[in-house]
Amino acid sequence: MAKRWWGYKLITLLSLFVLSVYSNEQEQVEGFFSQSGHTNNWAVLVCTSRFWFNYRHVANTLSMYRTVKRLGIPDSNIILMLADDVSCNPRNKYPATVYNNANRLLDLYGDNVEVDYRGYEVTVENFIRMLTGRVSPDTPRSKRLLSDDRSNILVYMTGHGGDEFLKFQDAEEISAYDLADSFKQMSEKKRYNEILFMIDTCQANTMYSKINSTNILATGSSKLDESSYSHHTDYDIGVAVIDSFTYYNLEFLENVDQTSDKTLKELFDTYDPVKIASHPGIRSDLFNRPLDKVKVTDFFGNVQNVELTKSRYPLVQQEDDERIDAATLETMETEQHSNTTTKATRHLHHSFLVEKKTDTHYYIQSGLGVLATVAIGYAIATTII
């Protein structure tokens, strides 16, 4: 009896060991694929004004455009909506340029600006259709927000507004209810992971008051019954060139690069009502992460899919340390299709080929492992007995 008891105990211990090995493997695989809550970043940048005297709103938007591009978001992931009517306006003393500073050290317009919605295409309907994905079939890719449930989206808007509304080119308005409904549709259709909504306009904070969808963080330049002011004027061209709220956001963002660990809390802590000349607002009750854990680059930068190691990965190991030329590698690739193996080389970069296992595969493998362990344990127990 004692020998049989030890045999059963051995079977149990072996079974627990196999289960723990498979559990650790599953956790490692899932951890590899969940290092970040998102896999891609998008930016939707909207200037809702037109006409020469609204020069600063164009400069606001192009400043944000330059920032997100500098931090790695490609034009393919940026939707830029712009009246685009000031760079070549007859009153522009510096044709084909847009500056956000009276010193005119940086031309925001330059030769590398891709405007997706231009002029009278900047409408409330087009904006909402673009956010929700309800566009006509012939809409080009550059005008589509092709986000998914792993996308972080920066939505930046600037223009003239009031209590729960924002004007579009002095012709129509979008309300706080319209915006909240658009975000609700995006949530239901799984078109985002997280959204940072940023708006620079008069009474800006009222524009996010009706939002009720999860994982949305919002900030605005001014509270109810409060105007949002420009920062300074370029007297050579005769108009203000940037708004205060955007200016001080840029002042912080200019010190951020793609590898920065600076957080949104650090950005929001720089908001000074005295400097900005209004009271910026922050709404984070719908957001699930603490702001001191959210990197600025989670919204303003591109996702960096890089695995850092302390040593090099040997991609190809050769017998006798002989170099394999291109012809040999081509032969190897051909042989792979016929399920043959080449003895001269052995690929070691398995970490780049990891595939996420489904729960079904995991349980099948676990079950087979446990059955094999029980069989071995039973054979050992029988031999002992």
Between CA 192 and CA 347 the distance in angstroms is: 37
Residue 89 phi/psi, 5-degree rounding, is -70, 140
Has 160 been annotated as catalytic?
yes
Write down the catalytic residue from 47, 160, 232, 347. Answer: 160
Helix axes 124-132, 176-188, angle to 10 degrees: 20
DSSP character string of 10-53: HHHHHHHHHHHHHHHHHHHHHHHHTSSS-SEEEEEEEE---SGG
Q: Is 231 a catalytic residue?
A: no
Could you report how far apart the first and last alpha carbons of the chain are, in Å?
9
The answer to whether 6 and 384 have CB atoms below 8 angstroms apart is yes
Residue with tokens 């069989």: 375
Provide φ and ψ at 241, rounded to 5°: -110, -10
Both structure tokens of 99 = 């500056």
Contacts of 288 (CB under 8 A, 6+ apart): 214, 215
Contact 123, 168 (CB under 8 A): yes
d(CA 289, CA 303): 18
Output DSSP code: residue 262.
Answer: -
CA distances from 283 to 5, 168, 174, 211, 339 (A): 63, 24, 20, 10, 57
Among residues 202, 231, 279, 347, the one annotated as catalytic is: 202
Report, as residue numbers or ranges, the catalytic residues.
Answer: 160, 202
